[in-house]
Amino acid sequence: MSRVPTVAEWLVRLASRDAGAREEAQEALGELLGTGDVDARERTARALLEELGRPGSKVVAPLLSLLQACWWPPQAGLASTAVQAVLEAVTRVEAEGQDVEHAAQVLANVCRVDPSRLSVLDGAFEHPHASVRSAMARVVGRVGQAALPWLPRLFALLEDEEPVAIAAVESLGSLAPLAPEVTAPRLVEQVRKAEGARLYLAIVSLRSLVEERRQGGQSLPRLTDLEPALLRTLEEPEPPSRLEAVALLGLTGPVSEDALTALRDSLKDPSPSVAAHAAVALLRLGAPPAEALFLLKGQLGPAAAPELQGAALSALVEVEPSTLFRAKGILESVVRDSTGPTRDALRELLDSIR
């Protein structure tokens, strides 16, 4: 019977140039981290953390991946060791890479088990390495209620370099439902001044927050100056940002005549998805429905390309019954003329308003 390698031997194989040996070591160490043998599990975790924190370690990436995927729940007795090891390791990775994502998940898991570790991590928000600040920005958004006292730290990271700021916006969106009056103005500020990925994440976060509040019958938080920021976003080159902007305009009404005009113009957007969401937004806002319904009927019709049909269905599928009711006539007419999956999907939508 062959001898089972020790954890130390598996770690050596993890650094091997042989891909098969690395894969075998990754699998074996993952099983040890998840074993029901409490002592073996703790010994494995301790060995991995010690190697992770060793300045010369060449297996930082696979160790972070292993720990975030397989080490749950972290042993409270290893919390201090984990924090020190992960922070040391993060100084050696890129601020926007997957390794930072894994490091943040390990730290967040430790903080879920021992929330006091957030206090220990406080100084890391101002760490000289952007990768550490990026990890901390992500950690805050994953700890939930216990992280709310650290919102001011998160706000400060919104002014950091782009990878850190993007991570901060993402976490701000995660925490927004827990403190909407505090977080919403910060997200609106990001919509006003950000671009690219940060702008997109800010609008997505606001849309998610608004939808959740509407579905729960709750009032919306203050969204001062959001409309002009969204109108600016309609000129963005990337369709996903334009789509989120028109969708959010439809959820936050009433809107100005300028906004209604902009939504009507968006019915001609080169992206079918943006156009379809603009049509839904106009219906939600109670605008005269003719143009919006004409667009949706054209996209859903039997002669339309699958891309157009998919765009319209995606825009309609999560719409509340009161808005769908405004489109009931065209939905019924399309069902009569259609066949296949599109007809079936439209029948389901009609059933939700009958």
Give residue-wise pLDDT tens across range 233-243: 999 999 999 99
Structure tokens at 189: 């500020």
Q: What are phi and psi of 318, to 5 degrees?
A: -105, 15
At 338 the pLDDT is 85
| pLDDT for position 287 | 96
* Predicted pLDDT at 2: 67
Position 192: which residue type?
A: R
Per-residue pLDDT at 96 = 86
DSSP characters over 210-222: HHHHHHTTPPPPP
Residue spans per domain, the chain = 197-208+227-354
Q: Which CATH class is domain 197-208+227-354?
A: mainly alpha
Tokens of 354: 């009958």
Angle made by CA atoms 266, 273, 309, in degrees to the nearest 5: 125
Which of the residues in the chain have pLDDT under 50? Answer: none
DSSP tag of 354: -
pLDDT at 161: 95
Count the alpha carbons within 13 Å of 96 in the hemisphere toward its beta carbon: 8
C-beta atoms surrounding 53 within 10 Å: 19
pTM over 0.75? The answer is yes
